[in-house]
Amino acid sequence: LAVPGEKPRKGKLVVAGVTISSPDKVLWPAAGDRPAITKAELVRFYEMAAERILPHVADRPVSIIRAPEGITGQKFFQRHAMPGSNPRLKLIDVKERKPYIGVVDVGGLVAIGQSGGLELHPWGCKPGDPETPDQITFDLDPDEGLDFDDVISAAKAVKKKLEALGLNPFVKTTGGKGLHVVVPILADAKSRIEWDQCKAFAKAVSERVRAADPDHFTTTLAKKARGGKIFLDYLRNGRMATAVAPWSPRARPGAGIAFPLSWGQVRKGLDPRAFTLHEAEALLKKPDPWKDFRDGAVSLKPALKKVV
């Protein structure tokens, strides 16, 4: 890790002002016709994608999945800055614990890549205010053996329910098996809600969606209750809970990224594996379907009254 005041050494790779050690280290090994992805490529991705990532990550506590030896090596969650952590990372105070890692700019993202940080998992809070939720995440987890088309129908059902409550849901891939339906909410003094209300709302909506179609949905955490269903995981919405950030890579085979979609893309045949670090440069040239995410925020209070 770089130390404060460090000058880039000659011949070293420097990205966004961060000196990159072992730039040729393979983080995602080659697979089939897909070439390996190195640390140099990861940090360049963070630099290129910073404008898309930062609105969803900046100034919120963030957990990082680090895999300094690549996805086949040891992986660990890091929440707190460690001695020697890069000075481009900001510390975010939360009331009862050690400060969390925070990112405020492209240098912070690249510093995370430099330390082998492959995944970004922010809280769903308002930037600069860990005690105030500013979004709700419905994490759709399909049972093994389900088709992605089933996840698509499920996401549409959740969308419909949320729209009926006057909310503006957005949708993203996770870089894994499911989808996340994410609702921006207002977090100003008049509209703000508590974390308990946020979780209670997510639970109540999930229960209603399940009750309307119990053959396809479950809200029971136990794996054995899932039998061929989509688990509506509402537990992403408590204080300190995280969800993978839009555009975050995943430390899994395939180098998938959690990709923001337009609802128009969410239809039969969509292949979430089409969104990977290999395609990132091309994907970044397309318009951002989440450009108006924040503008979609409304107060949760009326909807909360209806369902809780």
17 binds ligand ATP (CB under 6 A): no
Least gap, CB of 173 to ligand ATP (angstroms): 8
Helix (H) or strand (E) holding 170, with range, is strand 170-173
Q: What angle do CA 13, 80, 68 make, to 5 degrees?
A: 40
**Is residue 243 close enough to count as binding ligand ATP by CB under 6 A?**
yes
Question: What six digits make up the tokens of 264?
Answer: 């128009």
Q: Which amino acid is at 11?
A: G
Q: How far apart are CA 298 and CA 16, in angstroms?
A: 35
By beta-carbon distance, which residue lies closest to ligand ATP? Answer: 176
Query: Which one among 158, 162, 233, 244 touches Mn ion, defined by CB under 5 A?
Result: 233
Shortest distance in whole angstroms from residue 253 CB to ligand ATP: 12
Count of residues that bind Mn ion according to CB under 5 A: 4
CB contact at 8 A, 231 and 219 = yes
**What is the 3-class SS of 117-128, one letter each residue?**
EEEEEEECEECC
CA distance 114 to 158: 38
Question: What is the Cα–Cα distance from 175 to 252, expressed in whole angstroms?
Answer: 8
Smallest separation (angstroms) from ligand ATP to the CB of 240 = 9
Q: Is 238 in the site for ligand ATP (CB under 6 A)?
A: no
Using CB under 6 A as the binding rule, whether residue 52 contacts ligand ATP is answered as: no
CB 184 within 8 A of CB 284: no
Query: What string marks each residue from 174 to 193 as x (binds Mn ion by CB under 5 A) or -?
Result: ----x---------------
Q: Kindly report the number of other CB atoms within 10 A of residue 145's CB atom.
A: 9
Distance (Å, whole) CA 66 – CA 212: 40
Taking the C-alpha atoms of residue 265 and residue 174, their distance in angstroms, rounded to an integer, is 15
Instruction: State the nearest-atom distance from the C-beta of 176 to Mn ion, in Å.
Output: 6
Tokens of 214: 């119990």
239 binds ligand ATP per the rule CB under 6 A: no
DSSP 201-240: HHHHHHHHHHHH-TTTEE---SGGG-TTSEEEE-GGGSTT
**Which among Mn ion, ligand ATP, none contacts residue 261 (Cβ within 5 to 8 A by kind)?**
none
**Distances from the Cα of 79 to the Cαs of 17, 82, 158, 299, in angstroms?**
23, 9, 31, 30
Q: Between 29 and 176, name the residue whose CB sits nearer to ligand ATP.
A: 176
Among 66, 137, 139, 250, the residue binding Mn ion under the rule CB under 5 A is 139
Contact between 138 and ligand ATP per CB under 6 A: no
Residue 206 interacts with ligand ATP (CB under 6 A)? Answer: no
Q: Which of 141, 202, 275, 293 binds Mn ion (CB under 5 A)?
A: 141
| Stretch near ligand ATP under the rule CB under 6 A, chosen from 164-172, 189-197, 235-243, 292-300 | 235-243
Out of 22, 31, 69, 77, the residue judged to bind ligand ATP by CB under 6 A: 77
**Which is closer to ligand ATP, CB of 34 or CB of 177?**
177
Smallest gap from residue 12 Cβ to ligand ATP (A): 33
Q: Which stretch binds ligand ATP (CB under 6 A): 20-28, 176-184, 214-222, 295-303?
A: 176-184
Contact residues toward Mn ion (CB under 5 A) are 139, 141, 178, 233
Contact residues toward ligand ATP (CB under 6 A) are 63, 77, 121, 139, 141, 174, 176-178, 233, 236, 242-244
